[in-house]
Amino acid sequence: MLTVEQLEAGYGESVILRGVTLKVEPGQVVCLLGRNGVGKTTLMKSVMGVLKARKGTVRYAGKDLTRRPPGERARSGLGYVPQGREIFPQLTVRDNIMIGLEASRTRTKTIPDEAVAKFPALPAMYGRRGGDLSGGQQQQLAFARALVSRPEVLLLDEPCEGIQPSIVDDIREVIRSIKAAGRTAILLVEQNVEFVRSVGDYFYILEKGTVAWEGTPEALTDDIVRHYLTV
Ligand SMILES: Nc1ncnc2c1ncn2[C@@H]1O[C@H](COP(=O)(O)OP(=O)(O)OP(=O)(O)O)[C@@H](O)[C@H]1O
């Protein structure tokens, strides 16, 4: 289980997270919602260790990761698809995926078929530069790069942002198939409420640097959405 307790984080003088507590149980899809700029990406970065926590803890499988570097968190079982995908544009698709493999616990030097099985179009593009792919193809690549390490918790930061509707449906199916396989939990940041309702098991809403609401899909009513998420 991934647990975040009383997490505080920010940039320079500005404090963004002021004591966030949440958890992700094995196999669950947990969604993190909130208006623009509340700190959802900041939370993902702090969980992954890209941004240092100022206070509080990040624990996974009984291990305190709060002061551990991102590579160690990846080897402990956390995978990350960052906002904007962060594909290396000059590297080939194959080399982008290899970066995920090198950061992982696995020792193999070849891309396992199962990691790209969900993205059958990718292997034909292995020789192309990451920067030449479309947004949707880059998102598939970012998923594959995270999945090669066989993560137990996958952090997905706005995977549908800037993606055309037909590809959004593909991403939904990928999330559902990861969930159905039962081996990987997901912490999902996404603005699209309809999308998160269709995949989520549990929801947290951030406001003013803290968790303002949490609950099940049934409890996430239209009134709650209006109250916390409508701009
Ligand atoms: N590198 C940075 N340096 C300084 N301030 C930052 C930095 N990154 C983000 N911020 C600020 O921190 C706040 C939280 O940003 P964050 O990206 O975590 O929000 P978010 O909830 O993910 O928003 P969005 O939905 O727009 O992606 C914002 O006010 C943002 O301007």
Residue 230: the pLDDT is 87
Residue 113: the pLDDT is 77
Residues with CB under 6 A from ligand 1: 11, 16, 34, 36-42
Kindly indicate the confidence band of residue 187, based on its pLDDT and cuts at 50, 70 and 90. Answer: very high
Q: Is the pLDDT of residue 215 over 90?
A: yes
- Closest ligand 1 atom to residue 189 Cα is 22
**CA 33/CA 199 separation, integer angstroms:** 13
Q: Which residue has the tokens 């990861």?
A: 178
Residue 162: the pLDDT is 85
Do 11 and 41 form a contact (C-beta atoms < 8 A)?
no
CA of 11 to the centre of ligand 1 (A): 9
Largest CA distance in the chain: 50
Structural domain spans, the chain: 2-87+150-229
CATH 3.40.50.300 fits 2-87+150-229, yes or no: yes
CA of 14 to the centre of ligand 1 (A): 10
Amino acid making up residue 201? D
Q: What is the dihedral of CA 162, 126, 71, 90, to 10 degrees?
A: -70
Burial zone of 59 (CB within 10 Å; 0-12 exposed, 13-18 middle, 19+ buried): middle
CA of 50 to the centre of ligand 1 (A): 14
Nearest residue (by CA) to ligand 1, atom 9, is 42
Residue from 20, 42, 85 whose mutation best tests the ligand 1 pocket (most atoms within 8 A of CB): 42
Do 24 and 185 form a contact (C-beta atoms < 8 A)?
yes
Q: Which residue has the tokens 């493999």?
A: 101
CA of 110 to the centre of ligand 1 (A): 36
Residue 100: the pLDDT is 85
**88-136 per-position pLDDT tens digit:** 999 999 989 988 887 776 767 777 777 788 888 888 899 999 999 988 8
**31-90 per-position pLDDT tens digit:** 999 999 999 999 999 999 999 999 999 999 989 999 999 989 998 999 999 998 899 999
- Closest ligand 1 atom to residue 38 Cα is 21
- Closest ligand 1 atom to residue 12 Cα is 4
Mean pLDDT across the chain: 92
Q: In what order do the strands lie in the sheet with 78-81?
A: 78-81, 153-157, 185-189, 29-33, 202-207, 210-215
**CA 228/CA 225 separation, integer angstroms:** 6
Kindly indicate the confidence band of residue 20, based on its pLDDT and cuts at 50, 70 and 90. Answer: very high
Q: Give the ipTM of the model, two decimals please.
A: 0.95
Write 192-199 long-range contacts (CB < 8 A, 24+). Answer: 192/160, 192/168, 193/33, 193/225, 193/229, 195/160, 195/168, 196/31, 196/33, 198/172, 199/29, 199/31, 199/172, 199/175
Phi, psi of 166 (to 5 degrees): -65, -35
Nearest residue (by CA) to ligand 1, atom 16, is 39
Residue from 8, 13, 15, 16 whose mutation best tests the ligand 1 pocket (most atoms within 8 A of CB): 16
Query: Token pair for residue 121?
Result: 């179009």
Query: Token pair for residue 84?
Result: 């904007």
